[in-house]
Amino acid sequence: MKEKVILAYSGGLDTTAIIPWLKENYDYDVICVCANVGQEDELTGLEERAKLSGAAKLYIEDLTDEFAEDYIMPCVKANAIYENKYLLGTSMARPVIAKRLVEIARKEGAVAICHGATGKGNDQVRFELGIKALAPDLKIIAPWRCNETWKMQSREDEIAYCKAHGIDLPFDASQSYSRDRNLWHISHEGLELEDPAVEPNYDHLLMLGVSPEKAPEEGEYVTMQFEKGVPVSVNGEKMKVADIIRKLNALGGKHGIGIVDIVENRVVGMKSRGVYETPGGTILMEAHTQLEELILDRATLTVKKEIANKLADVVYEGKWFTPLCKALIAFVESTQENVTGEVKFKLYKGNIIKAGTTSPYSLYSESLASFTTGDLYDHHDAEGFINLFGLSLKVRAMKEAENKNK
């Protein structure tokens, strides 16, 4: 029997061409694994396409709920945002896919895992670190780095290669944006976006919603309930996390929420420019943050912000299956015990506008915050506090004055 290789298969042109290339250069039986992480209609027709391309078997694995609950939510609870803008849509999806690739490799007795990520991007790092952490014995094949055998450098080359191997598939060589879509977001790269001086063509580019200019003239109120940091309902309707994200995607897309144009620093050392649509994720992050404002004490919130930045870096770099990532997530989870309550906001032309937040665990005290003197606060106490709080400043100033007078 031939040895088996597991191919991370999307059904796109790259992974379609990889199937005959693997058989030709390694003489493997190719087991395709397509991970459904919420990419919608991109899954249509995959089984027939994989078989026509020479695959021995195709798995289509629905990982949407696992992705939402075990990978998205830890980052939402942390408010993990890479370089203050990127909500980690692709970064969070890669480890759950890598995990399933390894599980099927074990089930099939495969000796290798292959992915179609390019040698310039972040995904090669994320996939391979995940595989190495979970299955260090498995061989990893990255065709785009196999210069001696992977001779294709363009879509035209890949189409010609497929046709030469009897694969006539509905791909053309027309240029388009490079996109990655899942439940959380869709990313766009290429074409005019490769020049940071050029404005994105939003009318041609956007897929999940509209630009703020084309959003409705009237805002829309939304209410969300959270329990221990996890969203449980939208507008009074209880739903699982994945369905809440879908609902928020529809609402956010309608009102032009969550469109960002970023120049980010990739793991491999270069800067890249992309446009990300994350309508539901932007709403969910903001709602969770609004609730935490009421509940977390100052010291915890301060440290949590530092943890969020570190976790964002760790996830972006593909280090999900590491002791550090586990420890960071554990800290965040410990802060969520009382993050329960209701958040109301208005969506209006790209904006999320607060409309009221309540929680049984709120630390906000109206009697303390009010200008009216309450029982818990004596204005005279502030004088002693300021004297001690500013003591080091006063001593320093006195010493500087003393030295000047010498």
Q: Which residue numbers are catalytic?
A: 14, 94, 123, 178
DSSP string, 15-50: HHHHHHHHHHHH-PEEEEEEEESS-GGGGTTHHHHH
3-state secondary structure of 223: strand
As a whole number of angstroms, the distance between CA 257 and CA 197 comes to 23
As a whole number of angstroms, the distance between CA 246 and CA 252 comes to 10
| Burial classification of residue 11, based on how many CB atoms lie within 10 Å of its CB (0-12 exposed, 13-18 middle, 19 or more buried) | buried
C-alpha gyration radius of the chain: 26
3-state secondary structure of 356: strand
Beta 341-348 vs 220-227: how paired, if at all?
antiparallel
Task: Produce one character per residue of 286-298: b if its CB has 16 or more CB atoms within 10 Å, e if not.
Answer: bbbebbbebbbee
